[in-house]
Amino acid sequence: FRVSVSRETAVSAGPGSAQSVKRVSRAVSMSAQRRPSRRSEAGEVGLSRPPSASRPGPSRGNPAMGSGLGLKWLLQQPLSRQQLKRLEEHRYRSAGASLLEPLMQAWWERLVRRLPLWIAPNVITITGLAVNVCTTIILMVYCPTATEQAPLWAYLACALGLFIYQTLDAIDGKQARRTNSSSPLGELFDHGCDSLSTVFVVLGICIAVQLGTNPDWMFFCCFAGVFMFYCAHWQTYVSGTLRFGIIDVTEVQIFIITLFLLAASGGTAFWESMIPVLEIQVKIVPALLVVAGGIFSCTNYFTVIFTGGVGKNGSTIAGTSVLSPFLHIGAVIILALMIYKKSTSRLFENNPCLYILAFGFVSAKITNKLVVWSLFDLIRYSVGVCNQIASHLHINIFKISPPSSPVNIQEQNHHK
């Protein structure tokens, strides 16, 4: 802080006044030196606001400073030292096996043995996600309102993309154990990609069956898929164990691949045809199956949740209430529903794909934060978490040191 008084003012006020001004100026300067700045009190984040004339804004006066601050914001470390310490103590636990998973194991085992030992598991994971996202975006380009008919090859690409994603998602954990490179980062990376993939998968299948003509059903199916994925990790957050049911993600993915193939072969006429006895369109059948699957899955999830957690006094593994995660996903869904029903511009009906993606990314972020983790903020958070965990565990994200020979480990499941 500074107090500046002109010579003319001091002279006109007389000698006594000038001396008083000097004493005040000296006192204020000494007070400013003794008082710590808000930057030092707040750590790295500065809260003081210097005048714009002495420090130009990053967007106009100093572009280099703006880019530097943006990069620093992107790479900041979201996790505390205590969280990193608990991360070292984390051990992945899962239970159960789905109906078709044992049949798929032979294909997954055969494929993973053909992979070079130098390929990092996280590279496999991110490749599967990239393929799935790209094929869904192609479908979105042709069907922005989920009412149009896309070319046959677009549906086939989505079916193939989902199969590739399923396969790579299944063998990334096997590759991690094969190369002895399993880590908590691998688990978080795997589930983070799954949370994003869920958004694109449910959106892609709604486009394929042209549910845009029934916006209520499309809204329900998309958010039901996101909610069930969230609940799967919610019950893990409570019990400490990721549980798989008889009908789980493998069966759902194969069913969705079948729907993509039906869309390629039948087209618009197939989905709009009526079922004679039930007097409903064929496209409503997948939506009804989502209702049945949601009831079945959520019953199992909430049975675990309401039984009580493994923490103190029946709390979660983090020591919080078992019902606390509902606040986050509940806020997202309620807000999305309010905008859908109250929008005077029919925002959801005119832009269903972008609407689902926007809220889907928010749901993906809160799901990942539940595991330990809208659009650009999710990227920033993911980059920061991965870099910080990799640095703390002294490992690379997309690179491993291959062992001299594959590690033979008894496989219990295909996750990290």
pLDDT-above-70 percentage for the chain: 71
What are the two backbone dihedrals, phi and then psi, of residue 313, each rounded to the nearest 5 degrees? 55, 35
- Which residue has better confidence, 137 or 410? 137
pLDDT tens, position by position, 313-330: 788 777 778 888 898 899
pLDDT by residue (tens digit) across 208-243? 999 999 999 999 999 999 999 999 888 888 887 777
Burial 310-328 (b: 16+ CB within 10 A, else e): ebeeebbbeeeebeebeeb
Alpha-carbon distance of 413 to 105, in angstroms, equals 9
pLDDT (0 to 100) of residue 80: 67
- Res 146 pLDDT > 90: yes
pLDDT band at residue 96 using 50, 70 and 90 as cut-offs: low
In a domain, 410, yes or no: no
Question: Is position 120 within any domain?
Answer: yes
Q: Return the exposure string of 106-140: e unless at least 16 CB atoms fall within 10 Å of the residue's CB, then b.
A: eebeeebeebebebbbbbbbbbbbebbbebbebbb
pLDDT reading at 122 higher than 70: yes
Q: What is the CATH number of the domain that holds 286?
A: 1.20.120.1760
Mean pLDDT of 75-103: 65
Residue 113 confidence (pLDDT): 92
Q: Kindly report which listed range (2-16, 214-228, 240-254, 342-356) carries the lowest average pLDDT score.
A: 2-16
- pLDDT at position 243: 78
Residue 165 lies in a domain: yes
Q: Which residues form the catalytic set?
A: 191
User: Half-sphere exposure of 297 toward its Cβ, with a 13 Å CA cutoff?
Assistant: 26
Is the pLDDT confidence value at 19 over 80?
Answer: no
Whether residue 182 lies inside any domain: the answer is yes
| For the ranges 74-78, 281-285, 403-407, the one whose mean pLDDT is highest | 281-285
Number of domains in the chain: 1
Amino acid of residue 79: L
What is the span of the domain harbouring residue 144?
97-393
**At a CB cut-off of 8 Å and minimum separation 6, what does 160 contact?**
135
pLDDT, averaged across the chain? 78
Among 277, 197, 195, residue whose Cα is nearest residue 229: 195
Residue 37 lies in a domain: no
Stretch 89-117: mean pLDDT: 79
Lowest-confidence segment of 76-80, 84-88, 129-133 by average pLDDT: 84-88
* Residue 50: pLDDT over 80: no
Domain membership flag for residue 109:
yes
Helix, strand, or coil here: 189? helix
pLDDT, mean of residues 350-364: 93
Region 7-12: what's the mean pLDDT? 42
| DSSP states along 58-127 | TTTT-HHHHHHHHHHHHT---S-HHHHHHHHH----EE---SSHHHHHHHHHHHHTTS-TTS-HHHHHHH
Band (pLDDT 50/70/90 cuts) for residue 123 is very high
Question: Using an 8 Å Cβ cutoff, are 155 and 384 in contact?
Answer: no
User: pLDDT value at position 76?
Assistant: 64
The answer to whether residue 39 scores a pLDDT higher than 50 is: no
pLDDT over threshold 80, residue 277:
yes
pLDDT in tens, 239-263: 877 777 788 889 999 999 999 999 9
Residue 157 lies in a domain: yes
CA distances from 318 to 82, 226, 234, 289, 365 (A): 12, 23, 12, 34, 18
Decide if 41 is inside a domain.
no
> Is the pLDDT at 60 greater than 90, yes or no?
no
**Which of 279, 283, 282 minimizes the C-alpha distance to 210?**
283
Is residue 356 pLDDT above 90, yes or no?
A: yes
